[in-house]
């Protein structure tokens, strides 16, 4: 497979999509579904249950930086592994392992957060980080940026 060099606009689209997916899924997971559980965990640590506006902004920045890192990694390994969904999934898995799995694994023995929350957020993050990568080649193929 040969890859035509994407324009800056198309690369920006991929980064924005990845960051947007991460932020939306994180909001639904942590801000809606697990809101009470996170509140209880934070109160157990002597913190307020409600996340501040500054905290929300930091998490949104984190989501977009994670999207940038994931798309950058895909672009970096594409010459070695070739363009396609398999390479995209590799990039997503590696990004997840470094950014989420290792961080949660490091928090587990400290006992600061319930194991249930660490496991749920790790699994959700795996889906949210890998799925935009899996779908990106399909988008690019439709726009004739990727050919066999």
- Decide if 64 is inside a domain: yes
More confident: 7 or 16? 16
Averaged pLDDT score across all residues of the chain: 84
Q: Phi first, then psi: what are they for 3, rounded to 5°?
A: -115, 125
DSSP, collapsed to helix, strand or coil, labels residue 146 as strand
- Decide if 46 is inside a domain: yes
- Decide if 2 is inside a domain: no
Q: What's the confidence (pLDDT) of residue 148?
A: 47
- Decide if 3 is inside a domain: no
β-strand partners of 147: 2
- Decide if 1 is inside a domain: no
What mean pLDDT is predicted for residues 21-32?
92
pLDDT reading at 106 higher than 60: yes
Q: What's the confidence (pLDDT) of residue 110?
A: 95
Number of domains in the chain: 1
Per-residue model confidence as pLDDT tens digits over 108-134: 999 999 999 999 999 999 998 887 655
Q: Which domain holds residue 13?
A: 8-147
């Amino acid at each position: 497979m040969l890859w035509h060099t994407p324009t800056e606009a198309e690369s920006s689209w991929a980064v924005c999509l990845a960051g947007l997916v991460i932020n939306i899924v994180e909001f639904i997971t942590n801000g809606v579904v697990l809101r009470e559980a996170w509140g209880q965990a934070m109160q157990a640590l002597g913190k307020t249950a409600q996340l501040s506006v500054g905290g929300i902004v930091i998490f949104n920045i984190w989501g977009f930086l994670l999207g940038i890192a994931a798309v950058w990694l895909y672009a970096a390994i594409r010459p070695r592994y070739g363009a396609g969904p398999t390479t995209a999934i590799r990039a997503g898995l590696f990004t997840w392992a470094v950014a989420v799995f290792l961080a949660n694994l490091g928090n587990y023995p400290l006992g600061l957060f319930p194991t249930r929350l660490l496991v749920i957020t790790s699994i959700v993050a795996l889906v949210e980080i890998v799925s935009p990568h899996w779908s990106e080649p399909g988008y690019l193929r439709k726009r004739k940026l990727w050919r066999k």
